[in-house]
Structure 1
């Protein structure tokens, strides 16, 4: 079965924009036709690198291009809100890099505009579409480890303090929670089903005022729990274990780009499931967005907008316990 190509635009020319452009090159019917930057030189360099025919020196010009079907928003966290609204108000479908916005209020506004205009919108939580995570959902639905009772997951690394970098600047939504902790909160949402009923958390707020490392316990109905931690100044194992009444599933080696699962059923040996993939893994979220566009869907059931809103509310509640507010709030 043949499909009309989907014409992509990429908003921003930073590192993650390049990663996504590489992923699109691996999809035959995904055509990267335009890139938008705040600099003509940057747009030209990105266009040369990825053979993009249209290079715009403003985000507005990209959003207004009538030959773009969907825009991948790859700007820093603090700009997601305004740039998603820009694209949606020009009638464009949007795939927005995580975290979706700075807070739940911004997210709700963006979602409301997309729903009012009937436009496709999805958070680009790329890990959710990896073959190993797809298989994980199938295994959990089959009840292979019984009732899930607890999940432990981390994502942390050590970066040098730079007050001007997006990781440490409050004006850019810096801190470990929005940068990498969002992966663990999203995974807990996927596995345990929605928002926690209660939570307890601690964070180390560094010299710039953002969370340099954090630990979170999220409590769900029936006593189920997620124990999560994130860091931008501390190396962590990058492991996830999902624990049930009849066994456990480990996601590894680095769970957020996993290629393997190990299933342990109580009283039995371990089963190793290997699900390697070609490319950098970002192609799977692009394929989901393209599938939804072709089916006339305005959101994905794998990463639904109501769940994205719930994840943002959870992260707001976590930050509230730390007293961390960003300047734009």
Structure 2
């Protein structure tokens, strides 16, 4: 860790300059404990353009140069997920804390050594499941904790969109880790894990494997202890309603566009009108996970209580199980 005594801000580096890196970089301006220190890319031109556009102090033409910067505390890994294991391990071996964009890795076997290394070196590591830190999600969890909907019995969550036919594009190309599950499915799966606070006892699933050999849509049914259940759907060639509903014995909570939305609705049994929560955030929403990572580092914590490493590992194991049910395996594995 390269922090100095009394430091009250965390110095960020970004690995990669693609779309998700730009979204995160925009939001760092809204994270009160963040400093935009450096960006690393595979080319000088890309790094310099990104640094100039988003206000980073330094630009590096390689990831290795970024890792050697002593004034970078934490690195946001924004590279494609087939290389997450390699990139995150390089960060950890360089002594850097890491926030890694979802999905964490391709499978649980790749994630296990990263978790082990972070714990051995006492370095902060977290999966970038940014939705957990959004105000509507935080409010929904508060309503549940207060008992407003009674005992939670069922969760429904969908995330799907229709992309154009681009067989070589990231989402349809198996060599790039394409498919609905890893890109879209991790959101509803992680959401169910967050709500129930445990992993399912039984897993049933089905998927449509398209021409390129990746899953274009899927449905998953999970059963938990005491008869609780989750119904989850995802797609990359099909528009879904993209909302989540949490059903309890005394009411329900509805989250329109749950993974990035700004509203939450509490429907209590016997009440005609729902209670509405509206988030007036100015940022996209990535700032909240950045602030959480910063808080953890400044407080000397190596994990976030909101997105623990053991839970990320269990979620990845669940996705491994689902893909085995479909017979879907990537060549890079």
TM class by smaller structure = over 0.9
Alignment partner for residue 292 of structure 1, among 278, 292, 296? 296
Alignment partner for residue 243 of structure 1, among 239, 247, 265? 247
CA distance in 2, matches of 1:318, 1:27: 36
- Deviation, 1:8, is 0.3
Secondary structure of residue in 1 paired with 2:259 = helix
Contact 1:73 / 1:95 at 8 angstroms: preserved in 2? yes
Does residue 263 of structure 1 match 2:275?
Answer: no
The corresponding residue for 2:3 is none
- Deviation, 1:222, is 0.9
Contact 2:36 / 2:56 at 8 angstroms: preserved in 1? yes
Does residue 324 of structure 1 match 2:331?
Answer: no
The corresponding residue for 2:61 is 57
Contact 1:156 / 1:180 at 8 angstroms: preserved in 2? yes
Report the CA distance shift for 1:89/1:3 in structure 2 as closer, same or farther (over 3 A): closer
Please, what TM-score do these two structures have when normalized by structure 1? Answer: 0.97
CA distance in 2, matches of 1:152, 1:4: 40
**How many residues are treated as equivalent by the alignment?**
327
CA distance in 2, matches of 1:245, 1:306: 29
Computed over aligned residues only, the root mean square deviation of the Cα atoms, in angstroms, reads 1.1
Alignment of 1:140-289 (within 5 A): 140-252=144-256, 254-269=257-272, 270-289=274-293
Give the gaps of 5 or more residues in structure 2.
1-5
The corresponding residue for 1:85 is 89
CA distance in 1, matches of 2:201, 2:170: 31
CA distance in 1, matches of 2:200, 2:85: 25
- Deviation, 1:3, is 5.5
- Deviation, 1:136, is 1.0
Contact 2:33 / 2:294 at 8 angstroms: preserved in 1? no
- Deviation, 1:265, is 1.2
The corresponding residue for 1:20 is 24
CA distance in 1, matches of 2:299, 2:56: 26
CA distance in 1, matches of 2:31, 2:233: 34
Secondary structure of residue in 2 paired with 1:258 = coil
Please, what TM-score do these two structures have when normalized by structure 2? Answer: 0.96
Give the gaps of 5 or more residues in structure 1.
none
- Deviation, 1:301, is 0.2
CA distance in 1, matches of 2:188, 2:174: 21
Does residue 109 of structure 1 match 2:113?
Answer: yes
- Deviation, 1:28, is 4.2
CA distance in 1, matches of 2:101, 2:17: 13
Secondary structure of residue in 1 paired with 2:182 = helix
